[in-house]
Chains A and B, each alone.
Chain A
Amino acid sequence: MARKPLLEMENISRVFPGIRANDGICLQLFSGEVLALLGENGAGKTTLMNILFGMYQPSSGSIRLRGKSPGRLSPTKALQMGIGMVQQHFSLVPSFSVAENITLGWKTRSNREMLRGVERKIQQLGAHFGLPVDPRAKVWTLSVGEKQRVEILKLLFTGAQILVLDEPTAVLTPGESQQLLAAIRKMVRQGSGVIFISHKLEEVLSISDRIVVLRHGKVVGTVDRSEADETTLVKMMMGHEPEPLALLPSPPRGLPRLEVKGLQVKNDRGHLAIRNLSLEVQRGEILGLAGVSGNGQRELAQALYGLRRVVSGSISLDGISLESGNVHQRILHRFSYIPADRKGVASCPNLSVRENLSLKKRLPPVRNGKQNPLIRTFSIQVASEKMPVRLLSGGNLQKVIVARELSAKPTFILADNPTWGLDIQTTGLVSRILREEAKRGTAILLISSDLEELFRLSDRIAVLFEGSIMGYAPPDRTYREKIGRMMAGIQGESGEDA
């Protein structure tokens, strides 16, 4: 069937310093279809969509809308051209009603009649597409699912023909997800095209007409729904990699050091991000936690460390119950935490390097003329340790934080993507230190979106999906596909693995 595509992205590449986020991507979207964009973290999906939406410019390649080039895109222009994106952060005015939020920014003179008209249309569209929302309800009273519907309705009102939905079901309950998927099917029947970004295979298979799989910035393949199944998709997503390093032998099992039972944690929106999660980390073990980011890793780490309150469940370290929200207790028991957002959360930009290195200690560092030995050990490039930390390069800042957390003879280390942003040498150093700590008897929970790192360092790998542990696997590359399935939401063998 020779029909003109709504959207054509040809040979799109986007280079950032040091990375090719998108490499020669070709993609077409036809009217009336749902195109799924599938891929792991860092595969390049978000960058690609940001280019489509005009937030970035491609380093090379071109975009055509209905065969014509739109010129240089900006978010405003993209909206005008009928491209709309529903993101994870909503921009709605809480005290306004749904209808008022939709009409915000319209240039026409407002009056009662127009508003009534809009309300009627909202009800019509809502009923038609299965996105029911009370047009007069104030936004602050709406649930997350309802707010998302308002965002979608906003786009429909602007006449968007191309809708991009970025992990839309991440914030929804299963029931709401079903409603959304049904609504999407109805929308495309009207002639729009929808790009659906997700890592959840079940959803992708249930809703898409065609599937584009990205890996490392390149298109691995474009398949029709009829030709796709879980196995092929997982194979495409994960790929086959050569084996770089030999595996280290697992240490003997000891007593559980960290015990988590039935943990429930809410995210910022008030939804459960961690559902009934239980795990154990043994003394001297490195437990790797795999999973696509956004499945509750952040909330889990924060709850374990005490930065986020626990709804129910228990956490105990060496048999001592850790109080919900009490960071100080953790620090006293030598619980180290390397957060994912190191710059924003774990360092003080205007304090000196020396002060940041002793951030968690009660007293400021003593001036004894000797340089902090950590600077040498971690090759932190600084002119002087009195420099304020905001002048450090990104990589050096990471080193400061990692150095601080790994050197205080901890009993437990919670590391969230610890080598992200580090050069090869320091990555090797961190890996070595983690291994040495494990040998010393420290229990380590290593959260990472990089499977290779997990294979290299962990003794066991657990997979986190939608707030629960999907299953476990040994750090053996032959289990790669199995892990991939678990990461994508397909049930694996739960329970301990041999």
Chain B
Amino acid sequence: MKLQLEKRLRLPRFAWFTVPLYSLAFAFGVMFFVLAFFYLGQEQAAGTAFSRSGFALVSLLSTPFSSWFGFFGSLTHMVPLALVALGLSVAYRVKAWNIGGEGQMYLGAMAATWGALFLFPGVSRPWVMLPLLCAMGLAGGAFWALLPALMKAFLRTDEIVVTLMLNYVALFWADFLVNGPWKNPAGFGFPGTASFGVSARFPTVFGGQLHTGFFLPLLVAVLLLLLQQKSAWGFRSRIVGDNPLAARYAGISVRRTGAMALLASGALSGLAGAVQMMGVQHSFQQGFSSGYGYTAIIVAWLARLNPLGILLVSFLFGGMQMGNSSLQMFHGVPSALTPTLQALLLFSLLGGESLSRFRIRWKKPGEVADHG
């Protein structure tokens, strides 16, 4: 007797809705117990542990909607996530597996810092400086994606490990800069650069709660949507992503498309880094990214590479990040809550979707599939 998973030919009618629902329920259920276990570990009584766990989860999820502070904070956290995820979606669509979002983000931030503090410190008009720094961010990120792109195009090397390795090289390079040549002399010895001039900061709205760089992900998402559906490049990318053989047949170079996609996604991740510099941190510091580059991979995947979906998911994830910080401050919940929940969500949603495509069957011994 063998357990076989058979592909279902057609999904039940409301599967697109019920499957994610069940998966979400499962993920939150597991998270609830995991968190309760944490509280139990803190020498709490069982009842308190469970209620605190529930409370924490609810506040976490309702952060974006519970106050203006929460809302704007979520939007702020959403910006880098969305930008990187949008970039990744460009690459993933043509099956170019860019895992280097984190490193590319660093390079973009470094490029913007370089521009703001060392190359063009004298530029005083924000309308010149801000686009200039954004361009530097794009260039920095693309630069970091150049090596994997070249290796993919000419050496047929898998980009997964190369981009991953470059993440760490970027990290250490940043450490070096921030502890060495770029260190702020007036910074009391903290590893970080001096602050950006006023012209290099995004102006804020809503009473300082949200920086204007927030429009960029929206812009990019709309741009990507338009390009994908209407432009020649978008059409070619869809063909490559769907059937590389047919792409070859249609005269499209698959390798070149993949390499270009890597560069584009690197550029967008770089932009994310630059935006963080200009909008949030206003200086380059060690560890400024709380793993956005990796979280963005999950965001892109959950949103099925759809630009609007990415905006939504990154907003929700941004909300979780925001919520976690306040929970951390006021309720002693560690910041590890967010990545755990995100991982659980990913597993549940992926698993749920996969399982729904299969039906479990018992195969009788000796029965062989008849390839009629």
- A interface residues, Cβ below 8 angstroms from B: 16-17, 54-57, 72, 74, 305-307, 327-328, 330-331, 337, 339, 344-351, 355, 359-360, 362-364
Contact = CB atoms under 8 A, between A and B. Distances in A.
B246 A346 contact: yes
A74 B367 CA distance: 9
Given A331-B250, A362-B232, A364-B234, 11 more contacts: A16-B372, A55-B371, A74-B368, A307-B248, A307-B249, A345-B245, A348-B239, A348-B242, A348-B243, A364-B230, A364-B231
Interface in B320-372: 366, 368, 370-372
A359 B246 contact: yes
Contact of A72 (B246, B248, B366, B372): B366
B251 interface: yes
B206 to A, nearest CB: 38
Interface of B: 229-232, 234-235, 238-239, 242-243, 245-246, 248-251, 366, 368, 370-372
Which of B239, B249, B368 has the most chain A CB atoms closer than 10 A to its own CB? B249
26 contacts: A54-B368, A55-B371, A56-B370, A72-B366, A72-B368, A74-B368, A305-B249, A307-B249, A328-B251, A330-B251, A331-B250, A345-B245, A345-B249, A346-B249, A348-B239, A348-B246, A350-B242, A351-B238, A351-B242, A355-B238, A359-B246, A360-B251, A362-B235, A363-B235, A364-B232, A364-B234
B241 to A, nearest CB: 9
Given A56-B370, A56-B371, A72-B368, A337 B249 contact: yes
B251 A348 contact: no
Nearest to A388: B242
A72 B366 CA distance: 8
A364 B236 CA distance: 9
A327 B254 CA distance: 12
Contacts of A55: 371
Nearest to A327: B251
A171 B327 CA distance: 69
A302 B239 CA distance: 20
Contacts of B371: 55-56
Contacts of B239: 348, 351, 359
Contacts of B366: 72, 74
A346 B250 CA distance: 8
B297 to A, nearest CB: 22
B250 A349 contact: no
6 nearest A-B pairs in the assembled complex, by CB-CB distance: A328-B251, A348-B242, A327-B251, A364-B235, A331-B251, A362-B232
A54 B367 CA distance: 12
B248 A327 contact: yes
A348 B237 CA distance: 12
A113 B242 CA distance: 51
A69 to B, nearest CB: 15
B26 to A, nearest CB: 28
Contacts of A346: 246, 249
- Summarize B's interface: helix, strand, loop or mixed: helix
Contacts of A54: 368
Contact of A349 (B229, B242, B248, B251): B242
Contacts of A360: 250-251
B243 A347 contact: yes
B370 A57 contact: yes
A339 B243 CA distance: 15
A328 B246 CA distance: 13
Given A331-B251, A363-B235, A345 B246 contact: yes
A330 B250 CA distance: 10
A307 B244 CA distance: 12
Nearest to A306: B251
A135 B250 CA distance: 45
A163 B36 CA distance: 66
Contacts of B246: 345-348, 359
Nearest to A337: B249
Nearest to A332: B251
Contacts of A339: 249
A415 to B, nearest CB: 14
A327 B368 CA distance: 43
Contacts of B234: 364
Contacts of A16: 372
A478 B372 CA distance: 38
Nearest to B368: A74
Nearest to A328: B251
A406 to B, nearest CB: 16
A346 B232 CA distance: 18
A17 B238 CA distance: 34
Contacts of B238: 348, 351, 355
Contacts of A306: 251
A57 B368 CA distance: 9
Nearest to A329: B251
B20 to A, nearest CB: 20
Nearest to B372: A16
Contacts of B229: 364
A359 to B, nearest CB: 5
Contacts of A330: 251
Contacts of B368: 54, 57, 72, 74
Contacts of A350: 242
Nearest to B238: A351
Nearest to A76: B368
B367 to A, nearest CB: 9
A350 B238 CA distance: 9
Which of A306, A355, A362 has the most chain B CB atoms closer than 10 A to its own CB? A362
A360 B239 CA distance: 10
Nearest to A14: B372
A342 to B, nearest CB: 10
A360 B250 CA distance: 5
A381 to B, nearest CB: 19
Given A54-B368, A57-B370, A350-B242, A363 B249 contact: no
B243 A363 contact: no
Nearest to B230: A364
B253 to A, nearest CB: 8
A403 to B, nearest CB: 15
Contacts of A348: 238-239, 242-243, 246
Contacts of B372: 16-17
Contact of B235 (A56, A337, A355): A355
B250 A344 contact: no
A44 to B, nearest CB: 16
Contacts of B250: 327, 331, 359-360
A144 B65 CA distance: 67
Given A347-B243, A349-B242, A350-B242, A363 B251 contact: no
A330 B249 CA distance: 10
A327 B243 contact: no
A394 to B, nearest CB: 15
A344 to B, nearest CB: 6
B184 to A, nearest CB: 50
A363 B372 CA distance: 40
A364 B232 CA distance: 6
A56 B371 CA distance: 6
Contacts of A307: 248-249
